[in-house]
Structure 1
Amino acid sequence: MNNTPVTPKLRSEPIRGAMASRGLTSYDELAELLGLSRATVIRIMSGKQRPSQPFSSGVHVRLRLPYDLFLDHSEAMGVAA
């Protein structure tokens, strides 16, 4: 049995909606708000990198999004999508 934790996949649309409602127009602005590099935010938002804990926590706190709106745990829990 593999006990390696699986990081949930990102749902980017709720994040984009929260960005728009707060007047954030670019990933540069999101990166600054979250205290992360622009490159990291772009990789995560494009699906090339799974969301890190600092990214997820930042989105939850700074954009006030519940985790279950922007993180898809179905793959992490072994549920077919």
Structure 2
Amino acid sequence: DVVIYEEVAAYENAASDTMPMGMDAQYVTRKVEYREVQRIHLCPAEAKYGCQIQKGAWHTVEVIEPSVIFEAKDGCAKRNVEC
């Protein structure tokens, strides 16, 4: 399975209400979580051999054995750089 995620950022104020005015901005923390937005089940028996993932998308592959995984990125061979 290929799982696609979106990044969800939240900001929390860790300061108490007793801080002087203007001082609480330094106590703001950024909390990042990842929410699953799509799951693609690859299955050779169903002729589902691969998928295309948008550039910059957070993703993971959950491997079900036996498996062969091949990942390619646009432009790597054209520019002769290691990706």
Higher helix fraction: Structure 1 or Structure 2?
1
Q: TM-score range by the shorter chain?
A: under 0.3
Q: Which has the higher contact order (CA 8 A, sep 6+)?
A: 1
Q: Which has the larger radius of gyration?
A: 2
TM-score normalised according to structure 2 size: 0.21
TM-score (norm 1): 0.21
